[in-house]
Amino acid sequence: MKKIVLVTIGVATLLACKTTKKQVAKSEPVIDCNGKNFSYNTDIKPLFEKYCNRCHSDGGAGGYDFTFMDDIRKAGRNGDLLGTVKWKRGYPKMPRRAARLDSTTVAKIECWIVNGMKE
Ligand code: HEC
């Protein structure tokens, strides 16, 4: 009887560890967007002008012309925007052939999306 209890505890512990590890590996650092109300005109547009629009205008590389807010919103909604600037697997790394955006800039873009992509 003792053995069974011990084995059960052992298996439960193993399972618990496995689940926890999986969650840790999968999750990204959680950023708090509460109260961080960035606006397109003041915060987001200048970023795209600086880092993206030399390729993403006039027809637009990859089908995105980021001189249009609608295209930025679309990429924000379907995951392409964060996927590319966070260099997630399965996305081309943006800005192309340039340094990765710093984490403050990426967080700004993420919070703008999370808080409803306001003008
Ligand atoms: C030097 C040119 C260049 C710059 C700068 C650039 N891009 Fe791109 N982008 C491309 C090209 C070319 C593609 C088409 C996909 C490919 O060939 O990698 C693309 C594709 C994309 C896509 C579509 C990805 C997909 O999965 O289809 C997104 C979203 C994107 N870029 C976002 C950005 C953002 C955001 C920035 C600025 C932070 C940026 N890009 C800067 C050239 C550029």
pLDDT in tens, 48-95: 999 999 999 998 899 999 999 999 999 999 999 999 999 999 999 999
Residue 2 pLDDT class (50, 70, 90 cuts): low
Q: Whose CA is nearest to atom 12 of ligand 1?
A: 61
For the chain, the straight-line distance linking the first and the last C-alpha, in angstroms and rounded, comes to 66
Nearest Cα to 68, choosing from 77, 58, 83?
A: 58
Q: Which atom of ligand 1 is nearest to the CA of 75?
A: 29
Q: Whose CA is nearest to atom 1 of ligand 1?
A: 96
96 ligand 1 Cβ < 6 A: yes
| Mean pLDDT, residues 9-32 taken together | 58
94 ligand 1 Cβ < 6 A: yes
